[in-house]
Structure 1
């Protein structure tokens, strides 16, 4: 299994001269997590704090790029992972000069209790 970040996203249709009903939709977006220690693996550190989106405006912009539609809101739901990938993430955190705290504290600080091991 590959780890993934799960978000709830609301977006609207950008209509030109027509009406759409509904014009606003809610969906679940699953973004694959980079392998621990590889480029992009610090997404959790850069985008999340205490299990919430750190900067909603920035993440809305990212989600707009992901989906190709104007995103109105985005909320973090969970990091979905398996035990082996979570262990690899903990090891990468422990080995990284980016962090002074133990991996458990780092993960809790950024993801809160929003880690689901499947």
Structure 2
């Protein structure tokens, strides 16, 4: 079974450089260190990307390990992990979607089909619905 190291593998990536990525919405607060400095607004929402690992390769179960039963299941914990990665206070962090192409989605489905028992499911469709819901966007 593949497991991830929490957010150690959640690195912001250039969305133009990765063809398949997990997309997160993150609200960040700016806190200048120097006296007499402030920002307005002091918070903003941004998008954080994580490249999706190839199905069957190390890290491919990110959607299962982290999104469904891992760090994202505990939003305050996930927020702290994102803070550590980004180096600034995070107000909120949530999963938005798996942005993919048809080839990746087909490979993902094939890999899931090879081990339905791992997901305690009867079909690939059930797995995708259970773990990613309607949050798959094919581009």
Q: Where does residue 99 of structure 1 map in the other structure?
A: 119
Higher strand share: 1
TM-score, with structure 2 as normaliser: 0.73
Unaligned segments of structure 1, at least 5 residues: none
Paired residues, number? 115
Cα distance in 1 for partners of 2:88, 2:57 equals 29
Cα distance in 1 for partners of 2:66, 2:98 equals 12
The alpha-carbon deviation at position 28 of structure 1 amounts to 1.2
Point out which structure has higher relative CO (alpha carbons under 8 A, 6+ apart). Answer: 1
Q: Secondary structure, in 3 states, of the residue corresponding to 2:40?
A: coil
Q: Secondary structure, in 3 states, of the residue corresponding to 2:79?
A: helix
Deviation digits for residues 3-29 of structure 1 (CA, Å, limit 9, x no counterpart)? 111111101113223322121111111
RMSD over equivalenced CA pairs, Å: 1.8
Q: Secondary structure, in 3 states, of the residue corresponding to 2:119?
A: coil
Cα distance in 1 for partners of 2:53, 2:84 equals 18
TM-score, with structure 1 as normaliser: 0.84
Q: Which runs of 4+ in 1 moved over 3 A?
A: none
Unaligned segments of structure 2, at least 5 residues: 1-17
Deviation digits for residues 53-91 of structure 1 (CA, Å, limit 9, x no counterpart)? 422123213322332222110122111000110111111
